[in-house]
Amino acid sequence: MASIIGWVLSAIFLIVFLAAGYFVLATRRIAERAERTIPPAGKFIDIDGNRIHYVEQGEGRPIVFVHGLGGQLHHFRHPTFPTLPGYRLIALDRPGSGYSVRAAGSSARLPEQARVVADFIATLGLEKPLLVGHSLGGAVALTLALNHPEAISGVVTLAPLTHMEDAIRAEFKALYIKSTPKRWLIANTTAVPASLKYAPQTLDFVFGPQKWPEDYIIAGGGMLGLRPSHFFATSSDIVAIEQDLGAIEKRYGEITVPAAMMFGSGDRVLDHKRHGLPMRDKIAGLDFVLLDGHGHMLQFMAKGEVADLVKRTAQKAFS
């Protein structure tokens, strides 16, 4: 009997080992293809132990762009840079995202991410840039406006995360992995193949109710999400939100720099009624724009409106 149990356990172990090996190899192949297709596009700089990847274009007063959850700098470089001539445009991969590497031992907490962006601005010698943030990048931008107001001249947020949700949404539960070892294991085995399999559904959710653009996968950098490091960073980001956002949302009235915000009424990721409309009463003089029927990815689907808002805010901020 004991020998039979031992044989069964050995067989189970072998099956698990082979399955894990298959997913590890599949993950590596998918990630290598993503990196060959979309290699690093800019420069690297060390900020407090974080290796930050960034791109810049143009001349003039500086505008710095911070992407959202699961994104990377192409979320602004591709759709937004061509619409803003006359400015020095800088987009960075947040620590852990894209080709940026998060410092060992550092967290993904909002105040820390805001500090890294503030130090990035100082290290590049940018003179009080306008800061533009999308989604989670909007939360980072608002945190920076609160904790480091001297670093910027104004802030524009596109579909920003501004308030704590009552519970983790079903669409984000696969990312909410509090155990670091478990997060690493999933990132390097099943996460990337699963992300590839369900990519159309994910894009429908993120871009809906509008159809995602065909050039998003490569030109928009979407394929870079198919890497274990990217999944690990995205999971770290979403787990860290709850540590600080509740306190941050109580301080929005302290923001004094020129501020603007845009939401789409059809946003499936962040409800404008929870994250947008209340902000009109919390930030003095907020330039708030609500686009009827638009979804979450405003910089791709409302390029002209986004450019107009950025220019309008830049005029106030740089005057």
Cis peptide before 209 (omega within 30 of 0): yes
Residue 92 is encoded by which pair of tokens? Answer: 């960075």
Q: Determine the pLDDT at residue 22.
A: 55
Sheet containing 259-264: which strands, arranged edge to edge?
A: 43-47, 50-57, 88-92, 62-66, 130-134, 154-158, 259-264, 287-291
Measure the CA–CA gap between 53 and 64, rounded to whole angstroms. Answer: 13
Residue 276 is encoded by which pair of tokens? Answer: 């947008």
> For 307-314, what is the mean pLDDT?
98
Measure the CA–CA gap between 85 and 57, rounded to whole angstroms. Answer: 9
Q: Determine the pLDDT at residue 274.
A: 95
Measure the CA–CA gap between 36 and 38, rounded to whole angstroms. Answer: 6
Name which of 294, 140, 125 is nearest 208 in CA terms: 294
Q: Where are the beta strands (DSSP E) in the chain?
A: 43-47, 50-57, 62-66, 88-92, 130-134, 154-158, 259-264, 287-291
Across the chain, mean pLDDT equals 92
Residues 6+ apart with CB under 8 A from 288: 260, 261, 262, 263, 276, 277, 279, 280
- Position 21 pLDDT exceeds 70: no
Q: Determine the pLDDT at residue 8.
A: 47
Residue 182 is encoded by which pair of tokens? Answer: 């478990």
Overall pTM > 0.85 = yes
Do 58 and 34 meet the contact criterion of CB atoms below 8 Å apart? no
Q: Determine the pLDDT at residue 18.
A: 39
Report the relative pairing of strands 259-264 and 130-134 from DSSP bridges. Answer: unpaired
Q: Determine the pLDDT at residue 167.
A: 86
